[in-house]
Chain A
């Protein structure tokens, strides 16, 4: 009788615990999506390249993350939180890639200028070459 009673109360306890755990996990919150968006934004914001070359894009990403955070904190519909978190994550990636793109643009401009100067130097040197050097070979 006492053993049966203990078993029964144990079973009750397990059931209550299971219900509690189920209750906790059943609340669908877009925590993963928010976390992922935060990480993407942190990566973009931490980059000095992004700060220098894509500040506007970074600001757009920051605003998008702010929207997602506000919805998340207001316990909005998880699907909507996930949507805004996704937008923030993509905006952060855009900021990072835009900075890389502008870096390459700057490298391209520098390289083009350098090559223009080289061609000028080459032309100057050719003009200064003594005529004998070019007259060495007859065509």
Chain B
């Protein structure tokens, strides 16, 4: 009798697990979020592009983007496509922001350098004109 009850319990927990899995799979399948392969790929590309540039300015934003990309990949493997989609989209926009910050800093430095050279050259030209 006792043995019987135990077996029934095991059967029940099996049934519960099977139901839970079926529900999870069903939800994943039914949800409007398909496997976000495209989003994760786009995030990966944006992170790679930013990583080649954002060493000083934008480095913090890049780290955030890299973390979110890793989370997106994890969630996709776990089958949580909604979370994967969210993390991938945020990683992409964070990486784009990181790249923009880095490129902006680079341009500001280049413009400042050129303007300094222009001033120096102008000083020299003015001196010679005297």
Contact = CB atoms under 8 A, between A and B. Distances in A.
A107 B108 CA distance: 9
Contacts of B111: 104-105, 107-108, 111
B16 interface: no
Interface string B95-113: 0110011011001101100
A71 interface: no
Interface in A91-109: 91, 93-94, 97-98, 100-101, 104-105, 107-108
A81 to B, nearest CB: 12
Contacts of A83: 86, 89-90
A119 interface: yes
Interface residues of B, number: 24
A122 interface: yes
B118 interface: yes
Contact of B121 (A94, A100, A115): A115
A63 interface: no
Contacts of B90: 83, 86-87, 90
Contacts of B30: none
Judged by DSSP, the binding face of A is: helix
Nearest to B86: A83
Given A90-B94, A118-B122, A118-B125, A108 B100 contact: no
A138 B90 CA distance: 69
Interface residues of A, number: 26
A111 B115 CA distance: 6
Nearest to A95: B100
Interface of B: 86, 89-90, 93-94, 96-97, 100-101, 103-104, 107-108, 110-111, 114-115, 117-118, 121-122, 124-125, 128
The 9 closest A-B pairs by CB, nearest first: A111-B114, A104-B107, A101-B104, A107-B111, A108-B111, A90-B93, A118-B121, A97-B100, A104-B111
Interface of A: 79-80, 83, 86-87, 90-91, 93-94, 97-98, 100-101, 104-105, 107-108, 111-112, 114-115, 118-119, 121-122, 125
27 contacts: A79-B86, A83-B86, A86-B90, A86-B93, A87-B93, A90-B93, A90-B94, A90-B97, A91-B93, A94-B93, A100-B104, A101-B103, A101-B107, A104-B107, A104-B110, A104-B111, A105-B107, A105-B111, A107-B114, A111-B111, A111-B118, A114-B118, A115-B118, A115-B121, A118-B118, A122-B125, A125-B125
